[in-house]
Structure 1
Amino acid sequence: MSDLIKVIEDEYSAVKGSFPAFGSGDTVNVHVKIKEGNKERIQQFQGTVMQRKNPGTNGETFTVRKIASGIAVERIFPLISPNIDKIEVLRKGKVRRARLFYLRGRKGKAARIKEKL
């Protein structure tokens, strides 16, 4: 039984290596496959990475936050998922924390993150 789990984990670890390196504070563009009826399209979700949970495992997830029409939207994505087409890193953020939950209490210019040069 453990051999079967190992085979599946090895198969998905190849998928994990295809994504670029990113961390909390980075601005990413996640291309997500959306199914509507029998049609499938790709929708982009662009925002700031707030955290990465369980790094290095097959259950790794990351949370992306964006402001849409003045309303904050947070979305949690599993890193290994057939619904994620690709991840683009747009900006590298200069942060000193692994989890950026303090951004929830900030608006506008106060919620900006400096860019790593």
Structure 2
Amino acid sequence: MDLIKIAKEAFATDVKREMEFHPGDTITVAYKIIEGTKERIQLYRGVVIRISGHGNEKRFTVRKMSGTVGVERIFPLNSPAIDSITVNKRGRVRRAKLYYLRALTGKKARIKEIKA
């Protein structure tokens, strides 16, 4: 058997999440940060600009604006460090990868919201 597959199965966590969001959605990711002996939960809110990978290795990229600087962070979907993922707004986009948002600023970077 393949050694890489054996190692992945040995270190695999039992965290299985369903995809409840799509590119263009504004989400809040609550993830655990360990500082020394303390553990706290930090919130990261932004727009999902891509979902990549498949199966147990699926990951998503969230982009937020911190002042005038855009910050992107990649999260593995099944990471045990992620406490929760909540969808704040559903966005209507026609692309799977929203890389064009990197070049847009201000009102141009808005995404049309889907009314529920």
TM-score tier (shorter):
0.7 to 0.9
Structure 1 range deviating more: 20-29 or 41-50: 20-29
1:71 equivalent in structure 2: 69
1:102 equivalent in structure 2: 100
Query: Post-superposition shift, 1:24?
Result: 0.2
The CA distance in 1 between the partners of 2:102 and 2:72, in whole Å, is: 10
1:20-59, aligned counterparts within 5 Å? 21-55=20-54, 57-59=55-57
The CA distance in 2 between the partners of 1:48 and 1:36, in whole Å, is: 27
The CA distance in 1 between the partners of 2:59 and 2:48, in whole Å, is: 11
1:16 equivalent in structure 2: 17
Q: Note the residue ranges of structure 1 that are not aligned, 5 or more in a row.
A: none
Q: Note the residue ranges of structure 2 that are not aligned, 5 or more in a row.
A: none
Kept in 1, the 8 Å contact 2:15–2:80? The answer is no
Q: Residue by residue, what CA displacement relative to the aligned partner does 1:70-108 show, whole Å, maximum 9, x if unpaired? A: 111000000010110000000000000000000000000
Residues 72 and 14 of structure 1, relative CA distance in 2, 3 Å threshold: closer
Aligned-partner SS, 1:15:
coil
Kept in 2, the 8 Å contact 1:24–1:100? The answer is yes
Aligned-partner SS, 1:110:
helix
Letter in 2 for 1:86: S
Letter in 1 for 2:17: K
Identical-residue share of aligned pairs (%): 48
Aligned length: 111
Query: Post-superposition shift, 1:12?
Result: 5.1
Aligned-partner SS, 1:16:
coil
Residues 71 and 14 of structure 1, relative CA distance in 2, 3 Å threshold: closer
Using structure 1 for the length normalisation, give the TM-score: 0.85
The CA distance in 1 between the partners of 2:59 and 2:35, in whole Å, is: 24
Query: Post-superposition shift, 1:27?
Result: 0.2
